[in-house]
Structure 1
């Protein structure tokens, strides 16, 4: 409640400030190519709510339309300029306090900035970190690209392993995967426990508690590190599953069971390599998302 009252008070102050501090005190017209300047003025008595009257002015939005033509310059009062910017800064800081710390606490869908500055895509209180449906984005990417993310959230994208790690490191998260095949069959699977380790541990995945109408696709991937075309340390007897047989996508490939039972970032298409054990024909659309307590 205290934060809300502070927020309302600042909004009121901001409104009063912008009302009495016009964006332009006056407009100067000119018809020559010289730079337009204004002379300083002496400060007066205290103004609205103790804010000082202007002690000078500056030229903003200087515009010309050609040599010899008439142009305009907006003159803004210095005192109003610093008051407005200072309040905007405070309001921005306060906005951070009211931001959710995860999609779980946000009723809004779409791109959002969380309290710690991370950018996520929220969907019904889930954080979406992978989506594919038309093959428009190439998922044959390097380690740094999988770390930082790629694609656009309105299309196909990968959120980024570093963001997934920072949001799931508590270990109190659920993972949901939705699959649609080329003949329009729909599958889903959820895991009651999900987390991704840090880059120092090669973004190792931890999943357990399988449920859904799709088979267990992470059985051999649980506890595995992330593999990309350019980073595959001690993996699968020296072979790289990210490029083996045309897989081409970064994933938590298994070193125990012929690269594992799933790879959803592989080459897309009816004749591609996107795979989840027991889902036939191959998945056309895939969505991976998590939700944390």
Structure 2
């Protein structure tokens, strides 16, 4: 009987329903003392194992910034390293190669590789036995082609021809790409006379025309590099005779024959040329496929008129 009573007592305790009703049930089974002794609280058990650690709390605010340390002492200066003649030559050649490999910008040209010569006169490519870049003097490089000296070339519009007077006087561009040799150099090559001019033109469909002139020269800087050209023959039509006797003009140096405007800027591209009032030809015009009336592009009037721009041009001279 005591075992039954104990189990009933334990059940009531676990169910946390130790109430008067439960005590009454137990009392009917056994004595009051047995119920009381069975329902008494037992001894405290041993401490259980610690549970797992909880999640870490939020990061606290950063501490105050420490004081800066002392400035270190300046080190000893190293000795300079001399390149020597071999090292200097290598550096010069590497710089030249880098300039040839770097595509020129469509907006600016940082490097001008054709410069004004300081010698009293220079010759053309007549005596050159190979085609390609050729040094006429120590500081003048040109592109020779079958004995002709190329002094202007347009190919793909990668070089900006909307330049100022000094650029057109001294030259700009890449000698194996688009370039302008420079009015100073052209004058020095042609001032002794006996020079011819050949102009080669291509449109965007691959058609080609040419214009030949038996006499060609550029006057001195004091005369604003006035053009002297005559003796036309060819299949492109003579669009240069209209410019004969005209001084060179740029956006910052107006020497044209127009009385009320600067032709170099009114044609939309600010290119330099021997403008009259204004032009039958403009081979330094903006590289574009279709002219739009405001910007006339690369013009040769007697072949394509003013509405169709040319794709490629070459201007080259030969002095025999």
1:1-293 aligned within 5 A: 101-115=123-137, 117-233=139-255, 235-255=257-277, 259-272=278-291, 273-280=297-304, 281-293=308-320
* Distance in 1 of aligned mates of 2:227 and 2:78: 64
Are the structure 2 counterparts of residues 226 and 183 from structure 1 closer, same or farther at C-alpha, using a change threshold of 3 Å?
same
Are the structure 2 counterparts of residues 170 and 186 from structure 1 closer, same or farther at C-alpha, using a change threshold of 3 Å?
same
Structure 1 residue 113: Cα displacement: 2.0
Structure 1 residue 248: Cα displacement: 2.3
* Distance in 1 of aligned mates of 2:257 and 2:123: 36
Asked if the contact 2:152–2:315 (Cα under 8 Å) also holds between the matched residues in 1, the reply is yes
* Distance in 1 of aligned mates of 2:125 and 2:255: 33
Asked if the contact 1:101–1:116 (Cα under 8 Å) also holds between the matched residues in 2, the reply is no
* CA RMSD in angstroms, aligned pairs only: 2.3
When normalised by structure 1's length, the TM-score is 0.63
Equivalenced residue count is: 198
**Which structure has the greater CA radius of gyration?**
2
When normalised by structure 2's length, the TM-score is 0.58
Gaps of 5+ in 2: 1-76, 85-121, 292-296
Are the structure 2 counterparts of residues 117 and 247 from structure 1 closer, same or farther at C-alpha, using a change threshold of 3 Å?
closer
* Distance in 1 of aligned mates of 2:128 and 2:225: 26
The equivalent of 1:90 in structure 2 is none
Are the structure 2 counterparts of residues 155 and 238 from structure 1 closer, same or farther at C-alpha, using a change threshold of 3 Å?
same
Q: Secondary structure at the match of 1:203?
A: coil
Q: Secondary structure at the match of 2:211?
A: strand
Gaps of 5+ in 1: 1-32, 36-58, 63-99
* Distance in 2 of aligned mates of 1:234 and 1:161: 16
1:251-272 per-residue CA deviation (whole Å, 9 max, x = no partner) reads 00113xxx12101111111124
Q: Secondary structure at the match of 1:242?
A: helix
The equivalent of 1:3 in structure 2 is none
Structure 1 residue 247: Cα displacement: 4.0
Asked if the contact 1:241–1:247 (Cα under 8 Å) also holds between the matched residues in 2, the reply is no
If each structure's strand is expressed as a fraction of its own residues, which one has the higher value? 1
Q: Secondary structure at the match of 1:243?
A: helix
Asked if the contact 1:205–1:222 (Cα under 8 Å) also holds between the matched residues in 2, the reply is yes
Q: Secondary structure at the match of 2:259?
A: helix
Structure 1 residue 206: Cα displacement: 0.4
